[in-house]
Amino acid sequence: MKSFVKEFKEFAMQGNVMDMAIGVIIGGAFGKIVTSLVDDLIMPILGIFTGGVNFADLKYVMTEDNAIAYGAFIQNVIDFLLIALSIFVVIKLINKAKRPKEEEAPAPEEPSEDVKLLSEIRDLLKDQK
């Protein structure tokens, strides 16, 4: 039993697991910010252009107790698209920062005297053929 607990502790304390946990917590908070952005800023502005329609109230009523709330679905799709776009931009910036800067290739060195002499001999032998 101790080996199981020890293995679990080692697994849980690995850097990747801790990084993932922090990412999930920050992602949850970020999701709330984006939801507020969509609900409180984007959808009211979109409502102005659609004649004052509140998307949260859009639904198709099938019976008295059942309705399809497609307006809430539209808001959730916009939430998802904004979160996906934000994560894409952040990951792109992180990858750009991680990428090593390309260094200029050093100029080729001047051949040594021996190499120059051998090249001349080679050229002379080619000319004789």
- How is the chain split into domains, by residue range? 2-128
Q: How many CB atoms lie within 10 A of CB 82?
A: 17
CATH C-level class of 2-128: mainly alpha
Measured between its terminal Cα atoms, the distance across the chain in Å is 84
Average of per-residue pLDDT across 5-34: 77
Neighbouring CB atoms inside 10 A of 92's CB total 10
Residue-wise pLDDT for 27-41, tens only, equals 888 888 888 888 888
| 37-73 tens-digit pLDDT | 888 888 788 778 878 777 777 888 888 888 888 888 8
* pTM for this predicted structure: 0.51
